[in-house]
Structure formats: C-alpha cells, structure tokens
Structure 1
Amino acid sequence: MKKVNVLILAGFLGSGKTTLLKQILQREKEMNHKTAVLMNELGEVSIDSDAVPSDVPLKELLNGCICCSLSDQLEKQLWGLCKENELDTLIIEATGAAHPIDVLDACLSPYLLDELHVAGIISVMDAPRWLNRDTMSVQSKMLMIEQIKHADYLIWNKTGDLKKEEIQQLKDDAARLNEGTPSILTDLAKVDLDALMNLTRKERKKHQSIPAEKLKVKTWVYPFKGAVKKEAFENWLREMPSSIYRIKGYIKLEDEQIYLFQYSYGLPNYEKEFMKMPLRLVFIGENLDTAILKNGLEKLVI
C-alpha cells in the first residue's frame, strides 16, 4: 500500500511557515498530487487557514499545541485525513510554540505506521529574530535552538537586509547546532521545492522537551468595531513590547478596504482582502497585558 508523504513545517511564531506552505501547495497542484493540510493554532481563532485553497482537505487543531495538550487529537485527525482522502502528500504546519520532535513522534504512532511516510522536519527560522534572540525569554530561545537542532532542512528566512557578518553568523550557528543538514538563506521562504519534497529523515538523538505551558505563550483576540487610520495604527505598533511575537488577522483602514494583516518582529504587512471577513486581530506572545492592549486599540477606531 502506498504511504502518504508527510512534511512537518516547524519554526517560531511569525517565521514564514504559512508563506512556505502556500508555495508547496502550488507545486503539488502542478504535479497533480492530492495534498492535505493539518494546521495547528495556539488560540481559539484560525487566521492562517485562509491560505489553504478550498479544494485542499484541511483539518485544524485550535486552542492548544499538538506536541502536548492536543497530541491525542493529532493522531485522530491524521488518521481521518488519510481515510477520507486518497493522499499523496500531507503537510503539518505546527504552531510556533511546538517542539518538532514531539510532532514527529505523534506521526510515528503505531496506528499510523502503515499510512504515513514522514519525509522530515523543515524548520523555517526568522533570521533577524534569531540574531536578536537575547531580547526573548529563556524558554523561547531554547525552543528556537531545538527547532534548529532537529531540522532535516533548515531555512533562514528574511535575510535580504542582513550584513555579511550576520550572514556568516547564521552559517556558523547552523553548522554548530545541526552539522551536515541542508540549509538555505532566503526571503519570502523561497526555496528549491523539489529538494524540499525529497528529504531524508535523519537519526534522532534525545531532545529537550519544552512544553508550551513553560513558554508562557498566550493568545488574545481583539474584535474591531470599525476602521482605523493606518498611520495611527503603525505608530501604536512601534510601541509594542518585544514579548509580542506575532499579530495576525483582518483590519479595515480609512480607505474602507479590509486587509489581511500580519506582524512579526516589528514588520507589518497588509494584503487586500476582497471577502467580508470579521475584523479582529489575534495577538500571540508572552506576558500579554490585555488591558493596556485593549485601551490602545480602542483609541485607534475612527
């Protein structure tokens, strides 16, 4: 019986996993491969699932991490995707708080051995955030190290504006933490997709488990009651604490246009959205002071 080829997309919050996912899905469509996606979000609201075309089977695990609180559900969802669809490829996009080996272990469950061939773990790393990791909590730094150490393919993303010495630092860190593993420096998660789809999973050593609870990463959703001025909104963003790792959702600006908004490591991004989506932002980070966030956001509404 043909097994389903499984790719695990790992990497810290906002590193570019969903951008890579969209490229893989396009490639698999061109190859006439039947592909499904399992997506995990820490919070109760899913935003990134909009990146998955409607003709691609999708299952979501919300409000928890598939490496700990949702591990049992992961097995069931994987089983369901395989039984409900004749798949060639299955892509698992883990939450940025997940340890990749814990996700891998779930895929290697005895119940799934006859169904799945796990090609490997692709870690997408936010290069500027890695280089400035000393501003992050100890647990978050440890998780990023683990995501590098256990990758079968390492992608240093957002490298376009880095200096030569910073580029060299990334190469040195990759060699030190995960010697011999293919790695690439890129922007917008652009990679050789053929190489990516032909991974070889390496032998694993014991890993240091970092439960999501210890990370203290929380999510908070803010629903907007109207449009906001872009300039005022971005001025507010500049005051954001570094402990907020990711913001994503839908926002309406003064031009009355709805935008898919994404924010990671100080960089905002807007994409026009032509469907009438609910106006809300999901905040992901540590030590979220929701009272201060809510007060600031309420003042922005026109």
Structure 2
Amino acid sequence: MKKANVIILAGFLGSGKTTLLKQLLQREKERNHKTAVLMNELGQVSIDSDAVPGDIPLKELLNGCICCSLSDQLEKQLWGLCKENELDTLIIEATGAAHPIDVLDACLSPYLLDELHVSGIISVMDAPRWLDRGTMSVQAKMLMLEQIKHADFIIWNKTGALSDEQKQSIKEDAKRLNEGTPYVLTDYAKTDIDQLFALSVKDRKEHQKVTADKLKVKTWMYSFTGTVKKEAFENWLREAPSSIYRIKGYIKLEDGKIYLFQYSYGLPIYEKELMKMPLRLVFIGEDLDTEKLAEGLKQIEQ
C-alpha cells in the first residue's frame, strides 16, 4: 500500500510557515502529486486556510492546540484525509504554540502507521525574534528552543536585514542547539524545496512539554463595521502591547479597498484582496486585554 509522505511545519507565530506552505503546494502541483493540508489554529476562525487552493483537500482544527486539547481530533482528521483521498503528500501546519513532537506522535499512531510516512519536521524560525528573545516570556523562549532542537531542517527566516555578526550568532546557535541538522538563512522562507521532501525523521529523546495552556496563549477576533484610516491604525499598532505575537485578517482602508493584513513582531504587511472578505482581525498573544483592544480599535473606525 502506498503511504502518504508527511511534512510537519513547526515554528512560532508569524514566522513564515504559510509562506513556505504555498511553495510546497506549488512544487507538488507541478509534479501532479495529490496533496492534502491539515491546519491547526488556536482561534475559532482560520485565516491561513485562504492560502490553500480550493482543489486541495483541507481539514482544519480550530479553537485549540494540536498538542493539547485537539490531540485525539488530529488522529481522526488524519485518518479521514487518508481514507477520503489517495494522497501522495500530506502537509501539517501546526499552530505556533504546538510542540512539534506531539504532532509527530499523532502521525505515528498505530491507526496511521500503514497510511503515513513522516519525512520530517521543518521549523521556520523568525530570526529577528530569536535574536531578541530576551524580551519574551520564559515559556515562549522554551517553546522556540524546542522547535529548534527537534527540527529535521531549520529555516531561519527574515535574515536579509541582519548584520554579519547577527547571522553568525544564528549559525552558532543552530549548530549548538541541533548539531548536524541542515539549516538555511533566508527571506520569505525561500529554500531548496526538493531538499525538504528528502528528509528523514531522526531519533528523539523524551521532550519536556510546553503546551499552549502553559504559554497562556490566547486568541481573540475583532470584527469591523466600516473602513479604517491607515495612519490611525498604524499609530494604534505602535502603542499596542508587545504581548501580541500576531495579527491576521482583512481590513478595509479609506481608499475603499480590502486588504489582507498581517502583523508580526512589529511589522505590518498589507496585500490587496480582490474578493469581498469579512472585515475581521484575529489576534494571537499572551494575556490579551480584549476590552482595551476593542476600545482602541473602535476609535480608529470611520
């Protein structure tokens, strides 16, 4: 029986996993491979699923973390994807709060051993955030560390603006924390995609669990009723608490156009959206004061 080749995408919130996912899907499309995607979001609404073309089988695990509350559902969803589709490739994009080993454990379930072959764990790391990890909580730092230590391939992303000294520091950390594991320093998660399909899972020792519950990661969604003035919105972002790890969703600016908005580590990105999308933002972070956030966002609506 043919087994589906599984690639697990790990990495902290906003590191670039979805950007890499698009490249993986394009590669498999060019080879006429039957591919499916399983996405996990901590919130009730999945924004990243828009990145998956409609002809690709997709299952979503919402409002929880694969490694905690949704571990049983993960096995069921994986089983369903395999039974409903004759797959060549299955890509799992885990929430940034997930420990990659817990995702791997689900794939190695007795029910799935005849269905799946796990190629490896690819960790996409936000390089500037890693260098500035001293400002993060202990739990968040531990999770990033685990995502590095247990990777079969590390993509150090957003490195273009780093100094030579900073790049050298990252190379030293990569060798020190996960010796012998291939890695690349890049931007937009660009790397040799074929190399990622040729990975093999290494032996791993017991890991210390760092779950989303311990991280106190919360998600919250805000819906807009009208347009947003860009300048006022960015002024609000500059004052927003550093405990917000990621914002993603759709907003309508004063020019009347809808934009896909992404924000991580202080960097806002706007992409024009041609379709009419619901005007809402999903926030992910620790200890979010949702009442205060809602009050501030309401004030910038026109």
- After TM superposition, give the deviation of residue 242 of structure 1 in Å: 1.3
| Aligned pairs for 1:235-254 within 5 A | 235-254=235-254
Q: Does 1:281 align with 2:281?
A: yes
Q: Does 1:227 align with 2:227?
A: yes
Q: Deviations over 1:70-123 (max 9, x none)?
A: 000000000000000010000000000000000000000000000000000000
CA distance in 2, matches of 1:177, 1:106: 25
- After TM superposition, give the deviation of residue 274 of structure 1 in Å: 1.1
Cross-structure match for 1:113: 113
Cross-structure match for 1:182: 182
Identity %: 81
Cross-structure match for 1:50: 50
CA distance in 1, matches of 2:163, 2:235: 27
CA distance in 1, matches of 2:238, 2:154: 30
Q: Deviations over 1:150-189 (max 9, x none)?
A: 0000000000000111001100110111000000000000
- State the TM-score, normalized to the length of structure 2: 0.99
| Aligned pairs for 1:195-206 within 5 A | 195-206=195-206
Cross-structure match for 1:259: 259
Cross-structure match for 1:101: 101
- After TM superposition, give the deviation of residue 235 of structure 1 in Å: 1.1
CA distance in 2, matches of 1:31, 1:193: 13
Cross-structure match for 2:131: 131
| Aligned pairs for 1:4-23 within 5 A | 4-23=4-23
Task: Give the residue type in structure 2 aligned to 1:187.
Answer: D
Unaligned 5+ runs, structure 1 = none
CA distance in 1, matches of 2:241, 2:133: 14
CA distance in 2, matches of 1:39, 1:240: 28
Cross-structure match for 1:76: 76
- After TM superposition, give the deviation of residue 240 of structure 1 in Å: 1.5
- After TM superposition, give the deviation of residue 205 of structure 1 in Å: 1.1
- After TM superposition, give the deviation of residue 195 of structure 1 in Å: 0.4
- After TM superposition, give the deviation of residue 241 of structure 1 in Å: 1.5
The RMSD of aligned alpha carbons is: 0.5
